[in-house]
Amino acid sequence: VAVELAREKLPPPGRVSVEHVVNVLSRLNEPSAPAPVDGVLQVSKPVCSDTEPYDRLRDKLGREEVPNEA
C-alpha cells in the first residue's frame, strides 16, 4: 500500500526510491494541525534586542563594525 501511495505521488517518469517511500509514510503519520486560536494574542513584554554580547565579541576579535548599506 505504501509503495502504491508513493508511486501515485511520484513525478513521471520516475522510479520509487526508499527515501521517497519513507517520506510518504512519514507524511501519513504526521499529527493533524492544531486547532486555530480564538481571539487576538498580545505581547506581554515589548521586544528588545540586546546586541551587547555581539559588540563585546567584535571588540575581543578586534574587528571593525561593517556599515549597513541597505
The per-residue pLDDT for range 6-61, each reduced to its tens digit, is 666 655 566 777 887 788 788 888 888 888 888 988 889 888 899 999 888 888 88
Is 36 part of any domain?
A: no
Cβ contact 6:21 at 8 Å: yes
pTM: 0.32
Exposure string over 51-61, b if 16+ CB within 10 A, otherwise e: eeeeeeeeeee
Q: Does residue 5 sit within a domain?
A: yes
**Are 10 and 23 a contacting pair, CB within 8 Å?**
no
Chain position carrying cell 576579535: 61
Instruction: Give the span between the Cα atoms of 15 and 18, in whole angstroms.
Output: 10
Q: Is residue 44 part of a domain?
A: no
Three cell numbers at 22?
519513507
- Residue 24 resides in a domain: yes
> Is position 46 within any domain?
no
